[in-house]
Chains A and B, each alone.
Chain A
Amino acid sequence: MTTFAWDRRAFLKGAGAGLLVVLAESAGVAQQESGRGFRGHEMPKDIGSWLHIGSDGRVTAFTGKVEVGQNIRTSLAQQVAEELRVPFDCVEMVMGDTDLVPWDMGTFGSRTTPDMGPRLRTMAAAARQMLLEQAAQAWNVDASSLRAANGKILNGDGSRSISYGELTQGEKLVKVVTAEQSLTPASEWKVAGTSAPKPEGRAFVTGAHKYPSDIVRPGMMFGAIVRPEGFHAKLISVDSKAAESLPGVTVVRDGDFIGVVAPDAFTAHRAAAMVNAAWDVPEQPSNENLFEYLKNNPETSEPRHPDHQSGSMEDGMRNAEIKVEERYTVQYIAHAPLEPRAAVAEWNNGKLTVWTGTQRPFGVREELAQHFSIPESQVRVIQPDMGSGYGGKHSGEAAVEAARLAKAANKPVKLLWTRREEFTWAYLRPAALIEIHAGVRRDGTLVAWEHHNYNAGNATINTPYDVSNQLIQYHPTKTPLRQGSYRALAGTANNFARESHMDALAHAAGMDPLQFRMKNLSNARLKAVLQSAADKFGWDRAKSNATCGYGLACGSDKGGYVATCAEVEIDSDKTIRVRRVVQAWESGAVINPNGLNNQNSGGVVQALGGALFEAILFSQGKILNPQFARYRLPRFSDTPKIEIVLVDRKDLPPAGAGEIGLIGVAPAIANAIFAATGVRVRNMPIAPEEAIPGIPASPFRS
């Protein structure tokens, strides 16, 4: 039995009759990419997840993962339904409520599908086996003569059946399973592997779904925060008399924290604007010196081992007839989830409940417990399916702020960050400086590869190509702006540099970029997507000219494989337009083709923004473009024709697919531009809206 404290869970006491199945595990935790500063957690060894089968036959599965638009509420339910042999609509997922679900590190790093999927399947398969055995006992027959289908156990000829609900006999049963279960192979899936629609779809089109920012509590007040004038600012003086004269307004001061509580949101923001605060903002870096800063400010003085080292770069370069050495830059960009950070906080007899949008409900619970010096058992974080995150909502700033205001006001308080606050006081995708030095024989054989990444991270830093002499190293650095996780963050940067460089080498060797890659690649899965994309795109017939370029790129991240072909039009004033993208993709067995397609196609559009025009401009501790009018996002008019080729490998376990779809887009576009113009842009974004200090001006616009 486990050490889990059942009595704390109000739900379980009130769960009613039925069968509760608990998965106890001994498996370790997969390494997750969460940006620096969020490490140090391990999955508890005892409890991984649980599911409940009610006497009405309804199945409820509980997980700490959260739904942010990536469709796991659907795909996880499909997997439970599959293994339990119940209809899809009998399964409900309870997610992201720290009082109801098992502890979970968070939803990021494309880990839900490879980690949580098998857990839920294992538990569902164990539950089915238990139900089979229970029926066998009741009927006094051998369990192997029975089968499970459609929420029932049936005998061989189907003449006798009993529903799962009836089998629980109105009792409360708790079963702990640990055994390895044999799972239904993907080739036999009937519910998983199909395009089941989102169960909450109707609530999205009627406006009924309650996002974190939509939560309303009885007697609720509204909050607003008085923000410093820049990062690392110190408060010098504050005068809040005018604000406090507004009816119903309370100004809350606690050190450098200044917040306002008011009966309505309009008054809260008006009052916050009336607080007269003076700040001292220290000297800080700007775009102008960003990449020198990254190069010269290592995070620690400790030497760091290379991520990969083989052969000798010296030998490799000596044997190379063609040598290319370049540096690539990637700017900070914002996640810009359409729903900014939001929280509603409520205190009841010392217990704090916060509804908030976060990818880490348990992480936010910990932040809140630490801030208020109360036990985690006194904090409940509820995460309603939110207006997405893309890696940008790991932290609980709005939750802490709302809870501080609610405590001071002694009433529930809602806080919805403005867009400007979301741009300025959240965190960003890390900027990157990448240096690559590579050598190729005259026949196109890659013989030396050196890759240094400053700041972005080491995801996908290793080359998938066959090179006998390699030196690959990630260099963590100090960072001028607050940064953190992002959808495909380091994968995007590393792949942009590597695949641009591969393209440059192919051209230098006088080879077709596809042939050059194939020649130096033995990974069969990557070759398969590369060939699939090229075939669908018509690569053989795609001959670039001055106004139309064709480029390709490929890559592997988090167990998935992707290849991207892009067609880019360039007009006489150097305006570029991405006309067509073909993306082939393989991430093992496909659980929901329609959902996966949506993620993949959306990934292409999101990546297009970072590839072409998204960039954070900053100076002296201020973000200079913290609004959509100055931070361009991909729109309908930017969207190319997108064709997705899904390679379904039913023989391979499913990999997470939220991130891989992004990493081929920027290099494919840059390579297409080069093919048309002979100009290689090595900076992301490729065609920014306004000149970015510190890098050469791009000749292109978008």
Chain B
Amino acid sequence: MANYELNINGRKLRVSAAQEETLLSVLRDRLDLTGTKYGCGEGQCGACTVLMEGRAVRACQTTVQSAAQAKITTIEGLEKNGKLSPVQQAFLEEEAFQCGYCTAGMIMSATSLLSERANPSDEQIERAMNGNVCRCGTYPRIVEAVKHAARIGALGGTR
């Protein structure tokens, strides 16, 4: 066990965890940030996606040690002053979910994509999001939601 200071959603949080422990385990089981989900533990499903310095990473494949130096954003950190981020707003308006368990990871991957490309094509969306699984099969709506978010972003929505 070692002590780490993590920068999560703009807050400095101290946590005691094992060196090889995953960021996912620390977020969910030690910090009660349960919006980030466990799906497979092997980086195959994307349910645990968070942003590290703005880029999508799999929290189940990231050790707490390697996360300690970085700015981490989880699904809980996207809403600002009661206002949803453009991606959250778009997912809600398109109802781009069924059971919703994959949604946090989808939103984080889409947020990462849109920060690199303001207006991605269908092919770019598919490539960027293909590591995220929706077992309910909501893919066509998720693609629509990402494009919708791009439009909200273009209209000056906050990020």
Q: For the complex, what is the distance from the CA of A602 to the CA of B97, rounded to whole Å?
A: 10
Give chain A residues whose Cβ lies under 8 Å from the Cβ of B88.
205-206
A336 to B74, CA, bound (A): 24
A699 to chain B, nearest CB (A): 26
Which of these binds chain B: A361-369, A438-446, A627-635?
A627-635
Which residues B24-76 have CB closer than 8 A to chain A?
25, 28-30, 32-42, 44-45, 47, 74-76
Across the interface, name the chain B residue whose C-beta is closest to A247.
Answer: B1
Q: Are B126 and A266 in contact (CB under 8 A)?
A: no
CB pair A197 B95 closer than 8 Å: yes
The answer to whether A623 has its CB under 8 Å from any CB of chain B is: no
B126 x A637 contact (CB < 8 A):
yes
User: Among B40, B129, B136, B139, which residue has its beta carbon within 8 angstroms of that of A419?
Assistant: B40
CB of A265 within 8 A of chain B? yes
Tell me the complex Cα distance, A149–B132, Å: 45
- B69-108 CB mask vs A (1 if < 8 Å, else 0) is 0000011101100001000110110010111111110010
Residues of A within 8 A of B132 (CB): 636
| Chain A residue nearest in CB terms to B133 | A633
Q: Is the CB of B98 within 8 A of A598?
A: yes
A337 with B135: CB separation less than 8 A: yes
Please, what's the 1-or-0 string for B134-147, where 1 marks a CB less than 8 Å from any CB in chain A? 11111111110000
Q: Which residue of chain A lies nearest to B93 when distances are taken between CB atoms in the complex?
A: A197
- Give chain B residues whose Cβ lies under 8 Å from the Cβ of A633: 45, 133, 135
Q: Is the CB of A388 within 8 A of B135?
A: yes
Q: How far is the CB of A271 from chain B (nearest CB, A)?
A: 12
Q: How large is the interface on A (under 10, 10 to 19, 20 to 34, 35 or more residues)?
A: 35 or more
Contact A419 B42, beta carbon cutoff 8 Å: yes
Q: How does the 8 Å CB contact mask read for A182-206 relative to B, with 1 for contact and 0 for none?
A: 0000000000000001101110111
Q: When chains A and B are docked, how far (Å) is the Cα of A698 from the Cα of B101?
A: 34
Q: Does B21 contact A (CB under 8 A)?
A: yes
**A130 nearest CB across to chain B (Å):** 35
B101 touches A628 (CB 8 A): no
Contact of A266 among B25, B44, B142 (CB under 8 A): B25
Least Cβ–Cβ distance between A233 and chain B, in angstroms = 23
Question: Which A residues are within 8 Å of any B CB, using their own CB?
Answer: 68-71, 197-198, 200-202, 204-211, 213-214, 216, 222, 264-267, 270, 336-340, 385-388, 390, 416, 418-419, 594-595, 598-599, 601-606, 608, 627-629, 633-637, 639, 641-642
Which residues in B have some Cβ–Cβ distance to A below 8 Å? 17-18, 21-22, 25, 28-30, 32-42, 44-45, 47, 74-76, 78-79, 84, 88-89, 91-92, 95, 97-104, 107, 125-126, 129-130, 132-143
- Some 23 contacts from A to B, beta carbons below 8 A apart, are A71-B98, A200-B100, A201-B92, A204-B92, A204-B100, A265-B25, A266-B17, A337-B99, A338-B39, A338-B101, A339-B39, A385-B99, A387-B37, A419-B41, A594-B95, A601-B141, A603-B137, A606-B135, A606-B137, A628-B44, A629-B44, A636-B125, A636-B129
